[in-house]
Amino acid sequence: MAFWNKEIETMPRAELEKLQLSLLKKQVRTMYDSSKFIHDRMKAAGLSPADITDMGSFRKMPFMRKTDFRDNYPDGLFIRPYEDLVRLHVSSGTTGKPTVVGYTRKDLDLWAESLTRGMVSFGMTKHDLVQNSHGYGLFTGGLGVHYAAEKLGATVLPASTGNTERQIQLMKDLHVTAFVGTPSYLFHIADTCDKMGVDMRRDTNVRLAIAGGEPWSESMRAKIQDRTGIHIHNCYGASEFNGPSFLECEEQAGLHVWADLCIMEVLDKNGDQCADGEKGELVITMLQKEAFPLIRYKIGDVSALDWEKCECGRTHPRLMMLSGRTDDMLVVRGVNVFPSQIESVIGEIPYLSTFYHITLENENYMDDMTVEVELNESSIADDMVKLGRMARQVEDRLKSALNISTKVRLVLPDTLKRFEGKAQHVTDNRKYD
């Protein structure tokens, strides 16, 4: 079994926890001194850095939430000046405002380190040729995986998204051995291979893949592995804590969450720590981030953590496959979508009422989002061409706000179901089996 950083990766739990505590104390002190936001929050909670002496006192620290990013848009939570930053990434936020994340050189280094350890843990080496079909750009997926694979010494093909037939052609011609993308894109690749008469087992050298960025399931993994003969390793990450960060080892028994980089808590409904293997809300603290530190961040994902030592020899806790959200965030084709974003677009268009409904479907695990919205009675045109034009206009506005395409259906007033109390805006009919 190969390791990237064997000393850390196999450190006994007690030592790891000691390391976590010392990193944590230092991080809290830095944040208290350089982040007005954290300083004020800690003051309000009656805490000073000296109070954080163990994990028990750490749990008194107030939570950070997605709304804190919005309130401090664009860079109010950065604690380093721009001269120390070497990169920015941007992801969607809950309303019109996106979330901007800054990185120092060390941040990029540790981000890559986190993924490189994971890549090695399932057998990737410098001999691999890695085709990266995550989007390059503001999204963290493309560049995140890119730098980690380079750090490993593998050869990266920065294919980015789209043009599936060409991707498959390159996969064959260049003898690609490892593929990175979303689970649904893997299915799309497999379907396109079938159409092109390409047999992944016979005609390509792909043996490993990393898949993440959207919800999926063990049965989906079994299906696609069976179809393609590729070992597919789950990936977890979010731009708030760098980007894609944690991977499964060759055991495929949960993602190794590097305890020297991250404290991952799992909390039950009462806010108490869940037992090993018990599902709850994930709360993330990054121990070594410099530019944009996170402390007790409620990311909104639900899963379980298992500290039992992995068969591979690694001692760090393993995160199970995500099983839900605590908020109304939707992941559609790998993009985070909040119903509030859709609501604010609708609110800006005078011929639309405030009544809308979102329906999600998937075919071959490729998501489709339809937004039905009621027209204002005074704005209904009796001309199909005009109505069609209005629908296209709403689709364009949604596309520029959400970065993904939606189908818009303009319906008559009083057509959509009315709900008592909190409106149920979403019907999710997607299947992951």
H-type helices in 59-197, by residue range? Answer: 66-71, 105-121, 140-152, 164-173, 183-196
Report the residue number, 14 or 384, with the smaller CB distance to another protein: 384
120 scored as a contact of another protein (CB under 8 A): no
249 scored as a contact of Zn ion (CB under 5 A): yes
Scan residues 301-360 and list those touching Zn ion (CB under 5 A).
310, 312, 314
Question: Which one of the spans 122-130, 199-207, 293-301, 403-411 is the region binding another protein (CB under 8 A)?
Answer: 403-411
8 scored as a contact of Zn ion (CB under 5 A): no
Count CB atoms within 10 A of the CB of residue 194: 12
349 scored as a contact of another protein (CB under 8 A): no
Scan residues 350-379 and list those touching another protein (CB under 8 A).
377
Report the residue number, 44 or 385, with the smaller CB distance to another protein: 385
Please count the CA atoms within 13 angstroms of the CA of 214 that sit on its side-chain side. Answer: 24
Residue 410 touches which of Zn ion, another protein, none (Cβ within 5-8 Å per kind): another protein
44 scored as a contact of another protein (CB under 8 A): no
Report the residue number, 173 or 383, with the smaller CB distance to another protein: 383
Helix or strand or coil: residue 389?
helix
102 Cβ neighbours under 8 A, 6+ residues apart? 75, 78, 80, 82, 85, 87, 88, 291, 292
Token output for 117: 């350890």
Residue 415 touches which of another protein, Zn ion, none (Cβ within 5-8 Å per kind): another protein
Least Å from the CB of residue 379 to another protein:
11
Report the residue number, 243 or 254, with the smaller CB distance to Zn ion: 254
The Cα–Cα gap between 375 and 82 comes to 46
Least Å from the CB of residue 293 to Zn ion:
28
Token output for 394: 């709403």
Interface residue with another protein among 389, 409, 427, 431 (CB under 8 A) is: 409
The Cα–Cα gap between 374 and 365 comes to 29
Residue 310 touches which of another protein, Zn ion, none (Cβ within 5-8 Å per kind): Zn ion
Token output for 257: 């969450």
Ranges assigned E (strand) in 289-365: 297-303, 305-306, 318-319, 324-325, 330-332, 335-337, 352-363
Residue 200 touches which of Zn ion, another protein, none (Cβ within 5-8 Å per kind): none
Residue 154 near residue 161, CB atoms below 8 Å: no
413 scored as a contact of another protein (CB under 8 A): yes
415 scored as a contact of another protein (CB under 8 A): yes
418 scored as a contact of another protein (CB under 8 A): no
Residue 249: name the closest of 193, 315, 195, 189 by CA: 315
Report the residue number, 343 or 372, with the smaller CB distance to another protein: 372
Least Å from the CB of residue 383 to another protein:
5
Least Å from the CB of residue 382 to another protein:
4
Least Å from the CB of residue 350 to another protein:
17
The Cα–Cα gap between 360 and 427 comes to 6
Interface residue with another protein among 26, 201, 386, 431 (CB under 8 A) is: 386
Question: Which one of the spans 64-72, 103-111, 250-258, 410-418 is the region binding another protein (CB under 8 A)?
Answer: 410-418
The Cα–Cα gap between 252 and 356 comes to 41
Cis omega (within 30 of 0) for bond into 74: yes
Least Å from the CB of residue 332 to another protein:
22
The Cα–Cα gap between 287 and 106 comes to 13
Residue 249 touches which of Zn ion, another protein, none (Cβ within 5-8 Å per kind): Zn ion
**DSSP-derived pairing of the beta strands 352-363 and 366-375:** antiparallel
| Angle at 100 (CA atoms; ends 96, 105), nearest 5 degrees | 170
The Cα–Cα gap between 218 and 105 comes to 36
Least Å from the CB of residue 355 to Zn ion:
49
Report the residue number, 255 or 330, with the smaller CB distance to Zn ion: 255
392 scored as a contact of another protein (CB under 8 A): no
Interface residue with another protein among 170, 380, 423, 426 (CB under 8 A) is: 380
Least Å from the CB of residue 309 to Zn ion:
9
Interface residue with another protein among 412, 419, 431, 432 (CB under 8 A) is: 412
Residue 264 has φ and ψ, to the nearest 5°, of: -105, 120
Q: Is 81 buried (19+), middle (13-18) or exposed (0-12) by CB count in 10 A?
A: exposed
Applying CB under 5 A, the residues found at the interface with Zn ion are 249, 251, 310, 312, 314
Applying CB under 8 A, the residues found at the interface with another protein are 377, 380, 382-388, 409-413, 415
